[in-house]
Structure formats: C-alpha cells, structure tokens
C-alpha cells in the first residue's frame, strides 16, 4: 500500500491557493495516487456547521480558536487520519498554520495557548508538506473585491492581513523542511507549474 501523504495549501484570503487544489489532485491521480481533497474549517458535516458559524457570527479570538480546533478534531478523526491510513494523498485547504497566522498573529491571541490546543487536538499530526501562497495584502484585497462578497474575516483591514502574512512567514521560517513558498503574484500558469513541481517527490 502507498504511504499516505498530507499536503496543505495556505495563504491569506485572496492568495489564490484554492484555485490550484483540483489541478494538483488531477496530477496526482494521473500518477496513480488516490487523492482526498478537503478543507478547513470543514470537511465533515459537523465541521462545516462550525465553519458557517465561524464565518458569519461575531466572536472573540478565543472563541474563534476553539471553534476551529473543534472542527479540526472532527476532521482529523473522520477524514484525514482514515484517508492517510489508506495510503491516500490528502490535499487540505488550510490547517493549523492558518490558525496560528489568523488568530495568533492577526488577532494577537496567545500563541502558547494555541500551541497547547494544537498539541491536544492533533496528537503530533502535522502536514508532510505545506504550500504557502505568498502575496501582499493589497494584491489579495483587490482579488477578493473582484471575486466575491466578503465574509466576516475578509472584511478585516489591510493591517490585519499584513499581520496574518507575517504569521505565515514566521511559520515557514520555523519549519523550512515542510514549507514551500510560492510567489502568488505570478501568473496563474506560473503558479500552477510551481505547484505541480512540488508533487513529484512525494515518494511511493
């Protein structure tokens, strides 16, 4: 049986990461791999219900963190861990790096508390590879405005997204063996080429 691989796609809202997940899945399936595409918050019926609350209701940073970690626990238990055990490649739109970047750096919430929640909920589970779609907050904001009506988090100001971007940079610096930084200001084709190039050395 192939060894399961856990790959996450990260970046501030408007970075364009979600646009490349299906192309990555198609490339992996062409290599003969079984692929599970999922997202956070979400991925299960319970987690999707929590996502709806998270994106639509006003709440403080601790409540945000508790909701996303509750959703993550159900997601891990019901989707991610079973798929990895079956040898699948799991492509996940966001994971804990997003929580550290958004709630930790964006909101200024205690990173030590988030790290403790991470340890409790994940029991050591981390992505095998994280693709960070890096883009300035101004560029991401222009893309969001052209694409959709904003949700609760997307209505935050540029300073908030600058802090979130700094949070991602700090996570990438702390785990260089896991992170692949992708210049998301490049053309769609250039970004896709870079994404697909990261998938050729996942192993059997």
Q: What is the DSSP letter of 76?
A: I
Which residue's structure tokens are 């192309």? 23
Give the DSSP letter of residue 195. H
* Structural domain of 149: 5-198
Q: Is residue 203 a part of any domain in this protein?
A: no
Residue ranges for the known binding site are: 11-18
pTM of the entire predicted model? 0.94
Residue 202 has pLDDT above 90, yes or no: no
Domains held by the chain: number: 1
Confidence of residue 18 (pLDDT cuts 50, 70, 90): confident
Alpha-carbon distance of 131 to 187, in angstroms, equals: 16
DSSP-based three-state secondary structure for 131: strand
- 204 inside domain: no
Residue 177 lies in a domain: yes
Has residue 57 been placed in a domain?
A: yes
Neighbours of 3 (CB within 10 A): 11
- pLDDT for the residue numbered 151: 76
Name the token pair of 68. Answer: 């996303």
Is position 176 within any domain?
A: yes
**184: which DSSP letter?**
T
CATH number of the domain at 144, please. Answer: 3.40.50.300
Rounded to the nearest angstrom, the gap between the alpha carbon of residue 30 and the centroid of all alpha carbons in its chain is 24
CA atoms of 64 and 108, how far apart (whole Å) = 12
Which residues are annotated binding-site positions for ATP?
Answer: 11-18
> How far is the C-alpha of 133 from the C-alpha of 12, rounded, in Å?
8
Position 76 in a domain: yes
Whether residue 18 lies inside any domain: the answer is: yes
Band (170; pLDDT cuts 50, 70, 90): very high
Tell me which of 6-15, 43-52, 122-131, 151-160 is least confident.
Answer: 151-160
Task: Name the one residue in this structure whose structure tokens are 């909920």.
Answer: 121
């Amino acid at each position: 049986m192939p060894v399961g691989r856990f790959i996450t796609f990260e970046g501030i809202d408007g970075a364009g990461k979600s646009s490349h997940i299906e192309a990555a899945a198609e490339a992996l399936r062409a290599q003969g791999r079984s692929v599970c595409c999922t997202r956070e918050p979400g991925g299960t019926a319970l987690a999707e219900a929590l996502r709806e609350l998270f994106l639509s209701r006003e709440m403080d940073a601790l409540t945000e963190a508790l909701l996303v970690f509750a959703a993550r626990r159900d997601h891990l238990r019901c989707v991610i861990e079973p798929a990895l055990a079956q040898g699948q490649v799991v492509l996940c739109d966001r994971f804990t790096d997003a929580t550290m970047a958004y709630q930790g750096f964006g909101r200024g919430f205690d990173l030590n508390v988030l790290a403790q929640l991470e340890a409790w909920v994940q029991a050591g589970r981390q992505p095998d590879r994280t693709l960070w779609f890096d883009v300035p907050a101004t560029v991401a904001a222009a893309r969001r405005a052209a694409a959709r009506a904003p949700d609760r988090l997307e209505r935050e100001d540029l300073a908030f997204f600058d802090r979130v971007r700094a949070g991602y940079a700090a996570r990438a610096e702390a785990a260089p063996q896991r992170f692949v930084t992708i210049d998301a200001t490049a053309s769609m084709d250039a970004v896709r080429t870079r994404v697909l190039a990261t998938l050729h050395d996942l192993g059997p």
